[in-house]
Amino acid sequence: MKIFTLPLVYGRNVLLLLLLMALALSFGFTQVAAQDGGKVQVLGGRIEPRSIHYYTLPDLKQGQTVYLYVAGTSGNFDPFAGLFGPEVDSVTLENDFIGELERAVAGGADPLVVSAQLADEYFLTWDDDSGAGYDAALKYTIPADGDYQLALVSSLQQYTFGDYRLTVGLDAPQVLSGKAEPTGDVIALFDPKASHVGAAVQKITGALTVDKPQTVFFLNDIRAGDTLTLFTEALSGTLKPVIYLRDYGGKVLRASNFAGTSAAAGAEYTFDSDARGYSIKLEACCEDARTAGSYRLLVGINAPEVLTGEAEPAGAAIIKEPIEVQ
């Protein structure tokens, strides 16, 4: 049997060629891996109607690219995501951005047009529906070193809520697929204080008349252990307001100023189980001699300052919309 062998020099050339091919393939794979690299963090949470969740992205560097993807995973949550810099804080955002939006819509403006205009003014970049379905997805190249903030809003146009999955990436374009896996890095930090998690205050103004002496406000679902606080006061006229908290069957759980001896009323109630279908009834006292006038109503969840009448609106909506009047 004959055994064929390559000349020594030729054999070395073949080996060298194979080595170069292996290096080239290795370099190619390295390039692909680099393109899919970067840092990725995946977070989750639950957001209530008309709420804003804030995340801090600390110590970002000029030239880094931030990638975000927000997907609702339960309920009907339709996320809106906006990135803003250190020149804007959460208080300014809520008072100015959200306040201007609400005033414009109340004045008859198109909410889609106004929200886009205000978002361009207050955010460095923002997105509503660029991901799959109603998911939000965006990327932004950092212009200067510093701390940046992410505002995650429960829709600017409608009443949505639910659980969500937030994926944040630095120099990680795969985040925009919505399927990026975490790398173990910490990029974003949730800010529970600015997000008013677990606490909320809502303010409503209106009027009670002789012809329409009462108004009913239906409440969003309330969790076991939460404390509901109510305060109302007359702003004009002869009004002596009476306030009632009622369960799903209309049974009165709390009542204040029933005799109509004051121009203000307050009440507090802690729920020992989850509550659904509860309501607040506001009535002008009294049946034999109706009072009338405008009022201010404060409703709080885990916000005892409401009883002082000095609380400022914050956090998730407590009262369902539309408001029903009886």
pLDDT digits (tens, 9 = 90+) for 309-320: 998 888 778 998
Backbone φ, ψ for residue 287 (5° rounding): -60, -35
Non-local (6+) Cβ contacts of 313 within 8 A are 201, 202, 203
Cα 57 to Cα 316: distance, rounded to the nearest angstrom: 23
Is the predicted pLDDT of residue 214 greater than 70, yes or no? Answer: yes
pLDDT confidence band for 157 (50 / 70 / 90) = low
pLDDT at 108 (0 to 100): 84
pLDDT at 86 (0 to 100): 84
pLDDT at 97 (0 to 100): 80
Tokens representing 77 are 């949550």
Is the predicted pLDDT of residue 122 greater than 70, yes or no? Answer: yes
Q: Could you tell me the pTM of the whole model?
A: 0.61
Tokens representing 176 are 């925009």
Cα 317 to Cα 266: distance, rounded to the nearest angstrom: 19
Side-chain half-sphere CA neighbours of 264 within 13 A: 11
pLDDT confidence band for 19 (50 / 70 / 90) = very low
Smallest CA-to-CA distance from 319 within 222, 209, 197, 208 is with 222
Domains and CATH numbers, the chain: 39-195 (2.60.120.380), 200-308 (2.60.120.380)
Is the predicted pLDDT of residue 297 greater than 90, yes or no? Answer: yes
Residue 183 · residue 39 · CB < 8 Å: yes
Is the predicted pLDDT of residue 70 greater than 90, yes or no? Answer: yes
Q: How many CB atoms lie within 10 A of CB 27?
A: 10
pLDDT at 251 (0 to 100): 96
Is the predicted pLDDT of residue 226 greater than 80, yes or no? Answer: yes
Q: How many CB atoms lie within 10 A of CB 307?
A: 16
**Angle between helical axes of 111-122 and 99-106 (0-180°, round to 10):** 160
pLDDT at 290 (0 to 100): 93
pLDDT confidence band for 4 (50 / 70 / 90) = very low
